[in-house]
A and B are shown apart, each in its own frame.
Chain A
Amino acid sequence: MHNKTIAQIARDLAAGEYSSVEVTQSYLDRIQQLDHNYNSFITVTAEQALAQAAAADAMRAAGNATPWTGVPMAHKDIFCTNGVLTSCGSRMLSNFVAPYDATVVANFNNAGAVSLGKLNMDEFAMGSSNESSFYGAVHNPWQLDHVPGGSSGGSAAAVAARLVPGATATDTGGSIRQPAAFCGVTGIKPTYGRVSRWGMIAFASSLDQGGTITRTAEDSAMMLNVMAGFDPKDSTSMQQDVPDYTANLNDSIAGLTIGLPKEYFRDDLSSNMQQQVRNAIAEYEKLGATVKEISLPNTHLAIPVYYVIAPSECSANLSRMDGVRFGHRCDDPQDVNDLFKRSRGEGFGEEVKRRIMVGTYALSAGFYDAYYKKAQQVRRLIKNDFVEAFKQVDVIMSPTTPSPAFKAGEKTSDPVAMYLEDIFTIAINLAGLPAMSIPCGQVDNLPVGLQLIGNYFDESRLLNLGHQFQQVTDWHQQTPADLV
């Protein structure tokens, strides 16, 4: 049963093949048996899940079922869940039982979905290897001594290990696409403003965007149908109609133009990686697409821009974690400053502290123009590169990552080396564009991801392209060898 996709489970439930309680119980059992290998869940909400499943079965019996009624899934632990621990992978929030639901969570609840629990992640979504979680590192189901990527490493690993058919995730600089690539699953980060950020604990507000990790593009479309939409509680949410993302999955892609940015196919990319990605693009050509080389000349500035903007925003976003109203509080504070400094010093891990300090420095007196303002200006140049490119092409493709999953511990001592992992994904967040990673090959028994970048609000096209690829290839069906 665990090899079924969301679409299959939805069809089976509708056909009465099994009940929601049965499928939910089977996933819960599987999590209990296997997750000690991966550490992908922080919290498993078995009781609530079974209650939701029973309610879903009753809904169905009453003839009120929707496509999502009774389908199991899980949330990244960055989404607030009313009455359930929402830790964001941090000691700081290790006692934070959220008093409300994120809009995304409420949307899934309203659709009748069953949440199995909360998924592990890099602390406050800062990281590319899921090694910075207070709840321990997550292991890549393909090779346990390799990282699953981050920050949505728990979401990617759980889906890859078939512990859950689909999961929510968030992406600030690649945090959906990079782990999806590392774990051989499908991940989509929608256009900035497409999915509500209400109740999604902020890392870098102008870059954060919620999305999904699933095994197939079709499942991603089903998840986005629930997640996407305008939210009056989020000022950055866009008032734009939401299409049925499953409607165009089967459209022909003949005649589409694919742009290949020369800056993303660099010489230092291993020939193995290059080959996997080129093969995938050749599949698209077989499906009738044409390929065109393009240039995104400011690509090399994306990482510097990101490492000014993201730390600056996070330094302010995390200031509310002060030990006063919620979260970790140090013992016996001597005075208010001691309360702030020790609660924060103890509550945050190293990488989070580093980024807060970088951001604090970049915003401090005399540096604002040189760092933050400059970065916001260069950010526009990066966006303009894409705007120009989309005048010539319908979609842009590239490798998702420069290499397959690296070994655990390999980059933890060198933050800058870790930052360079996101070199192909970061610019897309800066521009606010939608992008997807789909499995497109393997190198050394580790999956390789193909990144598809779309124009604003062109999620349907990305899903269509992903689905068409998955109709003619089976990379998305490959299973880690250890898995039964």
Chain B
Amino acid sequence: MEWEVVIGLEIHAQLATKSKIFSGASTAYGADANTQACAVDLGLPGVLPVFNEEALRMAVKFGLAIDAEIGKRSVFDRKNYFYPDSPKGYQTTQLHHPIVGMGHIDIELDNGSSKRINVTRAHLEEDAGKSVHEGFGGMSGIDLNRAGTPLVEIVSEPELRSAKEASAYFRKMHSIVTYLGICDGDLSQGSMRCDCNVSLRPKGQQEFGTRTEIKNVNSFRNVERAIDVEIERQMDVLEDGGTITQETRLYDADKNETRSMRSKEVENDYRYFPCPDLLPIIIDDNYIEAVRSTLPELPDAKRKRFIESHQLSANDAAVLASSRTLADYFEIAAQAANDYQLAANWVQGDVSATLNRLEIDISELPVNAEQLGRILQLIKDNTLNNGGAKEVFNALVALGEAGKADSTVEKVDALVDSMGLKQVSDTGAIEAIVADVLANNPKLVEGYLNTPVEKRGKAMGPFIGLTRKAAKGVNPQVVMEVLKKKLEELG
């Protein structure tokens, strides 16, 4: 039988607020266990929540970025369940009146076309703490530092039809929330996690098949792999005449398999009701327009502009627009050099290679965008040749690696000078150097003059090398011309 895959994603993105959604505790990652869990986060008796205005602003910003309806009256509900890392015995979330209603994003498919995916809703909620299972002598340790970190949960319509599409959707969401600056997008720290709802149905059937939910997948690659193995598993079951059980599953990346999660199956009656400690959130058009005015250019718009205004290829534009920091870096350098293609080549070439080699983010690169822009300028005005430019770039990286990074543009010029990389194009200066070289190497000159005229082109090689050695950075084009003239004068 031919099966159709139906996938919907629920993405949890941690909002990049300084403090928690309902308390004044810090949201910084990596602190010692429970040192950033205040009385509210711990759910101690008598404490009360107060809503963080920045979490609201960020959620509205997201809604506007995906062209969604903004909930002018949204309400926090309590979702009741007992779990050791859920300190109040309920999670504060939004069920019936989310802050963001129906919206959409476009994803790019492999064949170059794009596909619109509708976003059902996005709501605000609080994150839970973490359970640590190792190192407590058969017990579990509970760390509530993460409890109360603001999240937006972004729920897609079940419109994704393959693991690849799902992964493209996740990447696109990642790109949007990081562009907006509302999430740091750090998957390794769990800043974005994804639940994948997967089901199969016979091709042509309207009705959905029974779905399973793969919880907490936290990388682009794993979303693709987890869904692919789950599709395979479901297909095997169905082809064998079996039925799919609606359940929550976990993806084990090491074994590349999904397995049933036992603990969450006990109950599914969450007894939602409006949180009486919080009141309805009311926002008006003025608020929404004020937030809209802070929206940055989004990835799709930027990609389009790179192609249309700066004649980049679709591929270059897609790569450079994929991340806001990369795009900003690229654009600053390109503007300084007044050459988008040259900057595009460099960012995708030496810059990317260095980032990969050092396993760092563009923001940590010891060569900042202004410095790269200066290097490109020097190429453009013939002060540096390509090799010299690479040498300056690498020297800046090396300084950074040695902990001596210098972020000034002047440092680029200083390095060009101190490394003697300045390309000499002045014919008079080069004539003097060539004259010296010829005078100091009479045997070579003699050999050259004894070479038949038709083979003299090749015999000029050693003179070029010597000249460039004598004066680093001489313009090879000019050297060739001067040498030719001088040698011809000799006979």
Q: Do A and B touch, yes or no (CB under 8 Å, in the complex)?
A: yes
Q: Across the interface, name the chain B residue whose C-beta is closest to A124.
A: B45
CB atoms of A205 and B44 under 8 A apart: no
Q: Residue-by-residue, is B261-279 near A (CB-CB < 8 Å gives 1, otherwise 0)?
A: 0000010010111001111
Closest to A313 in B: B276
Contacts of B276 in A (CB 8 A): 204-206, 236, 313
Q: Does A247 contact B (CB under 8 A)?
A: no
Instruction: Kindly state the interface size class of chain A when it binds its partner.
Output: 35 or more
Query: Can you name 8 A-B residue pairings with CB atoms under 8 Å?
Result: A100-B44, A200-B46, A206-B276, A320-B88, A324-B87, A325-B43, A364-B271, A368-B273
Contact with B along A319-336 (1 / 0, CB 8 A): 111101111000000001
Q: Is A462 an interface residue (CB 8 A)?
A: no
Please give, as numbers and ranges, the residues of chain B lying within 8 Å of A235 by CB-CB distance: 48-51, 277-279
> Which of A5-13, A18-26, A91-99, A115-123 is found at the contact surface with chain B?
A91-99
B78 touches A (CB below 8 Å): yes
| A68 vs chain B, min Cβ distance (A) | 23
Give the docked Cα–Cα distance between A27 and B239 (Å): 82
Q: Determine which of B46, B50, B51 lies in contact with A80 in the assembled complex, contact meaning CB atoms within 8 Å.
A: B46
A231 closest partner in B (C-beta): B48
In angstroms, Cα B40 to Cα A320, docked, is 11
Q: List, in ascending order, chain A residues with CB within 8 A of B360's CB.
A: none
Report B-chain residues with C-beta under 8 Å of the C-beta of A86. Answer: 45-46
A234, B45: Cβ atoms closer than 8 Å: no
- Residues from chain A with a CB closer than 8 A to the CB of B142 are 324
Is the beta-carbon distance between B46 and A201 smaller than 8 angstroms?
yes
B466 at the interface (CB under 8 A from A): no
Given known A-B contacts A80-B46, A200-B46, A368-B272, A325 and B87 have beta carbons under 8 A apart: yes
Q: Is A363 an interface residue (CB 8 A)?
A: yes
Candidates B45, B87, B277; contact of A88 at CB < 8 Å: B45
**Pairwise interchain contact A312-B273, C-beta atoms closer than 8 A:** yes
Contact with B along A228-254 (1 / 0, CB 8 A): 000011111000000000000000000
Do A316 and B80 touch (CB < 8 A)?
yes
Which of the residues B50, B51, B87, B90 comes within 8 Å of A316, measured between beta carbons? B90
In this assembly, does A38 line the interface, its C-beta being within 8 Å of a C-beta of chain B? Answer: no
The 8 Å CB contact of A325, one of B44, B272, B273, is: B44
From 66 to 98 in chain A, residues with beta carbon under 8 angstroms from any chain B beta carbon are 79-80, 86, 88, 93, 96, 98
Determine the distance from Cα of A319 to Cα of B87 in the docked complex, in whole angstroms: 9
A233-B50, A316-B89, A322-B89 given; A363·B278 CB < 8 A: no
**Contact check: which of B46, B82, B83, B272 meets A102 at CB < 8 Å?**
B46
Q: What is the distance, in angstroms, from B265's C-beta to the closest C-beta of chain A?
A: 13
B342: interface (CB < 8 Å)? no
- Whole-angstrom distance from the CB of A277 to the nearest CB of chain B? 33
Minimum CB–CB distance from B281 to chain A (whole Å) comes to 10
B266: chain A residues within 8 A (beta carbon) = 337
Q: Is B84 an interface residue (CB 8 A)?
A: yes
What is the bound-complex CA distance between A319 and B92, given in angstroms?
Answer: 13
On whether the beta carbons of B277 and A236 are closer than 8 Å, the reply is yes
Task: Give chain A residues whose Cβ lies under 8 Å from the Cβ of B182.
Answer: none
B contact residues around A232 at 8 Å (CB): 50
Tell me the complex Cα distance, A316–B89, Å: 7
- CB of B399 within 8 Å of the partner chain: no
Do A372 and B273 form a contact, CB below 8 Å, given A99-B39, A236-B279, A324-B84?
yes
B419 at the interface (CB under 8 A from A): no
- Using Cβ atoms and an 8 Å threshold, which residues of chain B touch A149? none
Is B482 on the interface with A (CB-CB < 8 A)? no
Contact with B along A10-51 (1 / 0, CB 8 A): 000000000000000000000000000000000000000000
A15 to chain B, nearest CB (A): 38
A456 at the interface (CB under 8 A from B): no
Query: Is A62 engaged at the interface, CB distance under 8 Å to the other chain?
Result: no
Q: A197 near B: Cβ within 8 Å?
A: yes
Asked if B46 and A360 sit within 8 Å, CB to CB, the answer is no
Q: How far is the CB of A440 from chain B (nearest CB, A)?
A: 34
Instruction: Give the distance to chain B from A369, nearest Cβ to Cβ, in Å.
Output: 11
Contact (Cβ within 8 A) B82 A319: yes
Task: Flag if A340 contacts B82 (CB, 8 Å).
Answer: yes
Is A365 in the interface zone, CB < 8 Å from B?
Answer: yes
How far in angstroms is the closest Cβ of chain A from B271?
A: 4
Apart from the given pairs A93-B45, A233-B48, A320-B88, 10 other A-B contacts in the complex at a CB distance below 8 Å: A86-B46, A98-B46, A202-B45, A202-B46, A235-B48, A236-B276, A319-B82, A320-B87, A325-B44, A337-B82
CA distance A235 to B274 in the complex (A): 14
Q: Are B45 and A320 in contact (CB under 8 A)?
A: yes
A235-B277, A316-B89, A322-B82 known; A199 vs B269 contact (CB < 8 Å): no
**Does the CB pair B45–A201 fall under 8 Å?**
yes
**Cβ–Cβ < 8 Å partners of B278 in chain A:** 235
Closest B residue to A80 by beta carbon equals: B46
What 0/1 pattern do residues 12 to 52 of B give for CB contact below 8 A with A? Answer: 00000000000000000000000000010011111111110
Residue from A93, A320, A321 having most chain B Cβ neighbours under 10 A: A320
CA distance A372 to B273 in the complex (A): 8
Within 8 A of A (CB), among B70-104: 78, 80, 82-84, 87-90
Contact partner, A198, options B47, B83, B140, B271, Cβ 8 Å: B47
How far, in angstroms, from A365 to B272 measured CA to CA in the complex? Answer: 9
Q: Is the CB of B89 within 8 A of A320?
A: yes
Instruction: Please determine whether A234 and B88 come into contact, CB atoms closer than 8 angstroms.
Output: no
A326 to B269, CA, bound (A): 26
Which residues of A have CB within 8 Å of B88? Answer: 316, 319-320
- A88 contact set on B, CB distance < 8 A: 45
* Nearest CB in chain B: distance from A251 CB, A: 34
A363 in contact with B45 (CB, 8 Å): no
A233 to B278, CA, bound (A): 11
CB distance from A188 to the nearest CB of B (A): 22
**Chain B: which residue is nearest A206 at the CB level?**
B276
Output the nearest chain A residue to B83 by Cβ-Cβ distance.
Answer: A336
In the complex, per-residue mask of B463-479: 1 if CB is within 8 Å of any chain A CB, else 0:
00000000000000000
Name the A residues within 8 Å of B83 (CB-CB). 336
Alpha-carbon distance A372/B84, docked complex (angstroms): 27
* A198 and chain B: residue at smallest CB distance: B48
Of all chain B residues, the one with the shortest Cβ separation from A88 is B45
By beta carbon, the residue of chain A nearest B271 is A363
Q: How far is the CB of B40 from chain A (nearest CB, A)?
A: 9
Q: Are B78 and A316 in contact (CB under 8 A)?
A: yes
Q: How close is B165's CB to chain A, nearest CB, in angstroms?
A: 33
State A93–B46 Cα separation when bound (angstroms): 12
- With beta carbons under 8 angstroms apart, the residue of B45, B89, B272, B279 that contacts A326 is B45
Contact A364 B269 (CB under 8 A): yes
Distance A372 CA – B274 CA, assembled complex (angstroms):
10
Question: In whole angstroms, what is the CA distance A236 to B48 when docked?
Answer: 9
* Nearest 8 CB-CB pairings of A with B: A319-B89, A363-B271, A205-B276, A206-B276, A320-B43, A199-B46, A201-B45, A80-B46
Given A233-B50, A235-B49: A202 and B277 interface contact (C-beta under 8 Å): yes
- Decide if A319 touches B277 in the complex (CB within 8 Å): no
Report B-chain residues with C-beta under 8 Å of the C-beta of A98. 45-46
- A339: shortest Cβ distance to chain B, in Å? 8
| Shortest distance from the beta carbon of B87 to any chain A beta carbon, whole Å | 6
Q: For the complex, what is the distance from the CA of A191 to the CA of B279, rounded to whole Å? A: 17
- CA–CA, A197 and B44, complex, Å: 14
Cβ–Cβ contact A316 & B273, under 8 A = yes
Which B residues touch A325, using CB under 8 A?
A: 42-44, 87
Q: Which residue of B lies closest to A312 (CB)?
A: B273
Q: Cβ of A363: which chain B residues have Cβ within 8 Å of it?
A: 80, 271-273
Q: What distance in Å separates the Cβ of B392 from its nearest Cβ neighbour in chain A? A: 55
Please, which residues of chain B bring their CB within 8 A of the CB of A337? Answer: 82, 266
Residue of A nearest to B82 (CB): A340
| Distance between A173 CB and nearest chain B CB, rounded to angstroms | 15
Max chain B CB contacts within 10 Å: which of A79, A96, A324, A327?
A324
In the complex the two chains form, what is the Cα distance from A79 to B45 in whole Å? 10
In the bound complex, CA of A233 to CA of B40 (Å):
10
Chain A, residues 360-379, CB within 8 Å of chain B (1/0): the string is 10011100100010000000
Residue of B nearest to A321 (CB): B45
Q: What chain A residues lie within 8 Å of B51 (beta carbons)?
A: 235
